Chains A and B, each alone.
Chain A
Amino acid sequence: MPANTRELRNRIRSVDSTLHLTKAMELVASSKIRKATAKMHAGREYADAVTDVINVLSGCQECQVSPYMRKGSADRIRLIVIAGDRGMAGGYNVNVFREAQKYPGAEIYAIGRKASARYGQEIRGTEHYSYEDAAELAVRFCEDYRNGLYDRLGILYTQYISMMTQEAKIRWIFPLAAPEQAPAQQVIFEPDAAKVLEETVPLYLTGILIASVRESYASEVSARSSAMNSAGRNAQKMKDDLTLAYNRARQGAITQELTEIVAGAGEG
């Protein structure tokens, strides 16, 4: 058999194994989507509830002097970057890192294996990120902020818009901004609003952090599922093209052989 067909056969085999791989990864990712989105919704609800409380508090007169609401220079940025645990998710990780590059001077805290590896930090996964991890980090970051170690805190995560669309964006946490209109409700704070605010901010950061990690994770598995789906389609198309070329080459070789035999018989 000519070298050409052998080469084609090898390529078909290699594309075929890629096809198996993408199919398997797509199945794994899509089996995780349901659980990941359920967790994301739970986290979102909690984050919304605690954000409402923060809005009430930061609208209070006596909270305006809180260290969490200080305004001033904003050049020392701290960024919590949440990326994936694995690659093969289309542009998911790349989009996050591209967004992070817009803040070259920022001090980065990475969550997600890919992010940890990129910024040379201790490995922290996103799939099983626990409330203990988040609470510990939140308390530390709040203390640092009160002590003036940095001026702004943002969480870079990937917003889950739909199965097909996810967008890397930054949610700014500190300084807290007062809502545009002061809340109308009359609430009694114990012991006072400033103290309650101080106690609530770590809770707020914990909630937002967990919600962001969960949302990023849901985005990651969705991105991987659709990336693997289209990779699988491409692989299938390539395999079809190669198979066609292979059959043509094989047929061509047979025709040529036959022609040679017929020609040989004619001579004899």
Chain B
Amino acid sequence: MAEYQLNIATPDGEFYSGPCEELIVRGTQGDLAVLAGHIPFMTALVPCAFRLWTPDGNERGGRLEGGLLTVGSRKDENQTVTVLTTHAEWQDGEKDGNE
């Protein structure tokens, strides 16, 4: 499955930065999933649980304290999807996504 670069940024630093196949979050209009090749897109997020699937087949979940989702241009080789949020945490209580 095609992948894209996902960055989840908080004021305390980068929460997650790495490849991702699918991300599910909740926008102000309802739940949405982002796959590679998504159209450039921007929406506000409400406080919600999120799930993401990485290319190595892992599924991870956590919580976002609301924020903003930006899907970058798909013309680029590496499409970038950015989530800006004031606070994020993994479901299993880990603070850092790059372990």
Residues of A within 8 A of B (CB): 39, 42-43, 45-47, 49-50, 53, 56, 131, 134-135, 185-191, 195-196, 199-200, 203, 206-207, 210-211, 214
Contact = CB atoms under 8 A, between A and B. Distances in A.
A145 to B, nearest CB: 18
15 contacts: A45-B14, A49-B82, A53-B84, A131-B11, A135-B86, A185-B40, A186-B40, A187-B42, A190-B41, A190-B42, A199-B28, A199-B68, A203-B85, A210-B11, A211-B11
Interface in B51-99: 65-68, 70, 73, 82, 84-87
A190 B29 contact: yes
Given A49-B84, A50-B68, A189-B43, 20 more contacts: A42-B11, A42-B13, A43-B11, A43-B12, A46-B84, A53-B68, A53-B84, A131-B12, A135-B65, A188-B41, A190-B29, A190-B42, A191-B29, A196-B42, A196-B44, A199-B44, A203-B84, A203-B85, A206-B11, A210-B86
B10 interface: yes
Contacts, number: 85
B42 A189 contact: yes
Nearest to B38: A188
Given A185-B73, A210-B11, A50 B42 contact: no
A39 B44 contact: no
Contacts of B84: 46, 49-50, 53, 203, 207
A210 B12 CA distance: 9
Interface residues of B, number: 26
Contacts of A191: 28-29
Contacts of A50: 68, 84
Contacts of B10: 46, 131
Nearest to A188: B41
B15 to A, nearest CB: 10
B33 interface: no
B9 A49 contact: yes
A197 to B, nearest CB: 9
A50 B11 CA distance: 10
Of B14, B65, B86, most buried by chain A (CB within 10 Å of CB) is B86
